[in-house]
């Protein structure tokens, strides 16, 4: 069985350009997770952070009696921000924590899910959780040889605590509609919560 991570990294580079920094984090009892930083295209002002390692094994339903080492969804996480003076490079460890959650907590990370860190995404950030968005826009799915499932690249949308609480009641689609209606810049590292009343 071919190692999927070199293929995943090649797909990320093809979509986002060359990374200019990477950090590796290993949690007790888990495989190593790396986070790559992509500076974005000149004049774009957007920095992207992508995990590498989450897709090494398929995510398994925590209620399953045995983890299937081959079949099951695979994913990596992608966060896009406009730094604007915020220390967003400190997001590397929190992103690695989120990427390790399938191994640590038996989560299956899928679009519409909330992932809560319980602490700011980076120092001073107004966000402590993220909404997992639909894949396929920024980085196309990576199709692997059968019987392996494809690797999805899941965008993460930072949420304020108020937005996360509102999403729990009304759902992901309703929150995304609020953001769209209000023209919310989801890449602004200092944005305030969207109006929710």
| DSSP for 50-63, written as a single string | EEESGGGS----TT
Task: Give SS3 for 122.
Answer: coil
Model confidence pLDDT, tens digit, residues 30-76 = 788 999 999 977 778 899 999 999 999 899 876 666 666 678 899 99
Sheet of strand 74-81, all strands in order from the earlier edge strand to the far edge: 21-25, 33-38, 47-52, 74-81, 151-159, 129-132, 114-116
Q: Please report, in tens digits, the pLDDT of each residue of the chain (197 residues total).
A: 458 999 999 999 999 999 999 998 887 777 889 999 999 777 788 999 999 999 998 998 766 666 666 788 999 999 999 987 889 999 999 999 999 988 888 889 999 999 999 999 999 999 999 999 999 888 999 999 888 899 999 999 999 999 999 999 999 999 999 999 999 999 999 999 999 87
How confident is the model at residue 190, as a pLDDT?
A: 92
Phi, psi of 116 (to 5 degrees): -110, 130
Strand pairing category for 151-159 and 74-81: parallel
């Amino acid at each position: 069985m071919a190692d999927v991570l070199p293929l995943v990294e090649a797909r990320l580079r093809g979509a986002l350009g060359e990374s200019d920094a990477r950090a590796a984090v290993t949690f007790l009892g888990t495989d190593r997770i790396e986070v790559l930083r992509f500076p974005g295209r000149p004049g774009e002002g957007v920095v992207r952070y992508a995990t590498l390692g989450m897709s090494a094994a398929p995510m398994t339903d925590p209620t399953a009696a045995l983890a299937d080492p081959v079949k099951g969804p695979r994913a990596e996480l992608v966060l896009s921000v406009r730094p604007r003076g915020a220390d967003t490079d400190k997001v590397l460890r929190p992103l690695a924590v989120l990427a390790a959650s399938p191994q640590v907590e038996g989560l299956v990370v899928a679009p519409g899910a909330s992932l809560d860190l319980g602490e700011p995404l980076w120092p001073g950030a107004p966000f402590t959780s993220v909404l997992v968005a639909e894949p396929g826009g920024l980085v196309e799915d990576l199709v692997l040889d059968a019987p392996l499932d494809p690797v999805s690249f899941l965008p993460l949308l930072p949420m304020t605590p108020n937005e996360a609480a509102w999403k729990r009641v009304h759902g992901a689609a309703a929150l995304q509609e609020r953001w769209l209606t209000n023209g919310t810049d989801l890449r602004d590292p200092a944005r305030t919560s969207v109006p929710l009343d």
